[in-house]
């Protein structure tokens, strides 16, 4: 499909942009490719249009449906035709029936409601669906050596069978039990179904890997601004990536590198270990870029210092979209931005308007961090992902964590 990137000005262009976004996502573009850059730019354009067009602040999803029906002059019978049943339409409008993923996609497409409007509404419903260990997921787990071939399940998936596949009871109960209050934040994607089971399996393996590591005693009050600055300046060192894990361990924080499973879209997580309550940062290195690594690391550090506790033991993040839906995510983003680059320093640099590679490198040297961090911030703040693509540090992070990433 021929599609020219441009500012989205009306609903017709918005629908075309969503179609192209879906096509690019389904093609799974390789890192550093032109298609991936197009996808990044297109996502920013879509988000900007949605923010301007649909800025109604955390609406109730059903009320959003009613508002859009009124805008379009639609009646309940029109909704019934769309959903295939008058009973279903009535139950949804009266909040007596949960929306399924397929319903959300239909409503989003035909009523022009951004799927993220349903964000706060969806995770509970997804968790209620029967968990399915698909053949694709089984093959992925076998390839990684996470399950033994002689234990490959046949028939229906049960809690008993899951406990055999993942036998460490303390972690199993923590992840698969009712007490798991993980918060997964993600932009909903066309034709991309999240897999709650895959997310739980990934969490289980993170805990398993974390238990193999040792770290000092963690105390929030001892994570000083000076230590955080030292960590950020480590980014400028030739071997800085390799030193991160040891530095965090000295502060009592465990770092786990574990690639994400398909249909999870996870970039990172902040987790409290069961029993010990030791904090864990898990990163998937989904995007092999230096700027993405350091932002993800400090984002999860922000969650550890500000949000994890008795009521919140897991926070899982998809950082591909930075326009955040929750106060927690906005706070974690702000923490990462301001800790890596002091706010006043950033304002002075950004206001000058010189974002050339030379200027970026000069500013990075001045504040003592890796230029890739500055380049990534410039690309985001300017909404221009065509610039500085050679300065964000592609293909360097996984090499630094080679043994863990390819374990």
123-132, 322-331, 333-342: segment of lowest average pLDDT: 123-132
Whichever domain contains 82, its CATH number is 1.10.260.40
Average pLDDT over residues 65-81: 85
- Residue that finishes a domain, picked among 53, 70, 86: 53
Shared-domain flag, residues 176 and 239: yes
What are residue 395's DSSP bridge partners?
Answer: none
DSSP state of 189: B
Q: Which of 118-127, 170-179, 256-265, 340-349 has the lowest mean pLDDT?
A: 118-127
Looking at the fold, whether 332 and 235 belong to one and the same domain comes out as yes
- In this prediction, residue 182 has a pLDDT band, given cuts at 50, 70 and 90, of very low
Does residue 178 register a pLDDT over 70?
no
The answer, yes or no, to whether residue 185 has pLDDT greater than 70, is no
The answer to whether 248 and 274 are in contact (CB under 8 A) is no
CA 378 to chain centre: 20
| DSSP β-bridge partners for residue 271 | 280, 314
- Better pLDDT: 231 or 310: 231
Same domain for 314 and 348?
yes
Q: Tell me how far apart the alpha carbons of residues 241 and 336 are, in angstroms, rounded to a whole number.
A: 17
R_g of the chain computed on alpha carbons: 22
- Would 142 be classed as within a structural domain? no
The structure tokens 């046949």 sit at 154
Q: Residue 139 domain-assigned?
A: no
Indicate whether 196 and 282 sit together in one domain: yes
Evaluate whether residue 4 is within a structural domain: no
How confident is residue 11, by pLDDT bands cut at 50, 70 and 90? confident
Alpha carbon of 97 to those of 119, 196, 305: distances in Å?
17, 21, 38
Q: CA-CA distance, 325 to 122, in Å (whole number)?
A: 13
DSSP-derived secondary structure letter, 406: T
Residue range 348-402, pLDDT digits in tens: 999 999 999 999 999 999 999 999 999 999 999 998 888 998 999 999 999 999 9
Q: What's the average model confidence in pLDDT over 304-315?
A: 85
Q: Is residue 157 very low, low, confident or very high in pLDDT (cuts 50, 70, 90)?
A: low
Q: Is the pLDDT of residue 170 over 90?
A: no
Ordered alpha helix ranges (H), 112-168: 122-128, 135-144, 159-165
- Say whether pLDDT at 188 is over 60: no
Statement to judge: residues 47 and 188 lie in one domain: no
Q: What's the mean pLDDT in 251-255? A: 97
46 in the same domain as 65: no
If you average pLDDT over residues 72-101, what whole number do you get?
83
108 and 173 together in one domain: no
Closest CA to 338 of 221, 209, 211, 225: 225
Instruction: Say yes or no to pLDDT of 54 above 60.
Output: no
Among 103-107, 177-181, 253-257, which is the least confidently predicted range?
Answer: 177-181
- Distant-in-sequence, close-in-space partners of 279: CB < 8 Å, separation ≥ 6: 218, 252, 253, 254, 270, 271, 272, 273, 304, 308
Q: Is 192 helix (H, G, I), strand (E, B) or coil?
A: strand
Burial track 184-213 (b if 16+ CB lie within 10 A, e otherwise) = bbbbbbeeeebbbbbbbbbbbbbbebbbee
Handedness of CA 318, 364, 306, 230 (dihedral sign): positive
Give the chain's domain count.
3
Q: In what order do the strands lie in the sheet with 268-272?
A: 183-185, 314-317, 268-272, 279-283, 254-257
**CB neighbour burial string for 222-237, b if at least 16 within 10 angstroms, e if fewer:** ebeeeebbebbebbbe
- Non-local (6+) Cβ contacts of 269 within 8 A are 203, 206, 280, 281, 282, 300, 314, 315, 316, 317
pLDDT band of 151, cuts 50, 70, 90:
confident
Average of per-residue pLDDT values in the chain: 83
Q: Is residue 146 part of a domain?
A: no
Find the domain containing 21 and state its range: 11-53
**Could you tell me if residue 27 is inside a domain?**
yes
241 and 389 inside one domain: yes
Residue 189 near residue 122 (C-beta atoms within 8 A): no
Whether residue 232 lies inside any domain: the answer is yes
- Do 302 and 187 fall into the same domain? yes
Q: How far apart are CA 394 and CA 400, in angstroms?
A: 12
Choose the final residue of a domain: 95, 113, 131: 113
- Whether 119 shows a pLDDT value over 80: the answer reads no
How far does Cα 102 stand from its chain's mean position? 22
Model confidence at 336: pLDDT above 80: yes
Interacting residues of 308 by C-beta distance below 8 A, sequence separation 6+: 270, 271, 272, 279, 315
Mean pLDDT, to the nearest integer, of 278-287?
Answer: 95
Contact indicator for 242, 289 with CB cutoff of 8 Å = no
Place of tokens 């919140």: 312
- Based on the fold, state whether residues 83 and 185 are members of the same structural domain: no
Pair 363, 374: CB distance under 8 Å: yes
Of 208-217, 276-285, 305-314, 376-385, least confident by mean pLDDT is 305-314
Share of the chain above pLDDT 90, in %: 39
What local confidence, expressed as pLDDT, does residue 153 receive? 64
Q: Are residues 314 and 177 in the same domain?
A: yes
- Which residues, 6 or more positions from 294, have their beta carbon under 8 angstroms from its beta carbon? 232, 235, 340, 369, 370, 372, 373
Residues 260 and 360 both lie in one domain:
yes
Report pLDDT for 181.
40
Report yes or no on 365 lying in a domain: yes
Residue 157 lies in a domain: no
Backbone CA torsion sign across 216, 304, 306, 291: positive
C-alpha 64/C-alpha 112 separation (Å) is: 10
pLDDT of residue 285: 95
């Amino acid at each position: 499909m021929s599609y020219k990137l441009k500012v989205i000005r009306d609903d017709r262009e918005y629908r075309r942009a969503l179609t192209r976004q879906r096509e690019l996502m389904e093609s799974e573009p390789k890192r550093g490719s032109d298609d991936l850059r197009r996808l990044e730019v297109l996502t920013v354009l879509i988000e900007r249009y949605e923010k301007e067009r649909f800025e109604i602040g955390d609406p109730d999803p059903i009320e959003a449906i009613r508002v859009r029906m009124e805008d379009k002059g639609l009646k309940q019978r029109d909704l019934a035709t769309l959903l295939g049943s008058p009973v279903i339409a009535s139950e949804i409008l009266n909040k007596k029936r949960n929306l399924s993923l397929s319903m959300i996609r239909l409503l989003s497409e035909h009523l022009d409601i951004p799927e993220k409007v349903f964000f706060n509404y969806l995770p509970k419903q997804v968790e209620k669906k029967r968990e399915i260990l698909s053949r694709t997921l089984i093959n992925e787990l076998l390839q990684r050596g996470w399950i033994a071939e002689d234990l490959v399940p046949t028939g229906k998936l049960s809690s008993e069978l899951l406990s055999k596949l993942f036998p460490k009871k303390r972690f199993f109960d923590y992840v698969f039990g009712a007490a798991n209050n993980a918060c997964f934040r993600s932009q909903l994607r066309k034709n991309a179904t999240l897999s709650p089971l895959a997310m739980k399996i990934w969490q289980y393996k993170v805990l398993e890997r974390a238990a193999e590591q040792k770290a000092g005693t963690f105390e929030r009050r001892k994570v000083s601004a000076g230590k955080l600055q030292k960590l950020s300046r480590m980014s400028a060192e030739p071997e800085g990536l390799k030193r991160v894990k040891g530095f965090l361990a000295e502060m009592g924080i465990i770092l786990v590198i574990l690639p994400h499973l398909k249909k999870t879209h996870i970039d990172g997580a902040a987790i409290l270990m069961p029993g010990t309550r030791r904090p864990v940062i898990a990163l998937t290195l989904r995007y092999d870029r230096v700027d993405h690594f350091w932002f993800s690391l400090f984002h999860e550090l922000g969650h550890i210092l500000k949000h994890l506790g008795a009521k919140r033991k897991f926070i899982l993040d998809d950082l591909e979209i930075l326009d955040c839906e929750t106060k927690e995510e906005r706070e974690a983003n702000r923490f990462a931005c301001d800790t890596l680059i002091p706010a006043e320093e950033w304002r002075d640099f950004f206001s000058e308007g010189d974002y050339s590679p030379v200027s970026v490198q000069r500013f990075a040297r001045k504040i003592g961090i890796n230029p890739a961090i500055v380049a990534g911030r410039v690309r985001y703040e300017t909404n221009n992902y065509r610039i500085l693509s050679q300065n964000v540090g592609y293909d360097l992070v996984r090499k630094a964590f080679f043994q863990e990433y390819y374990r």
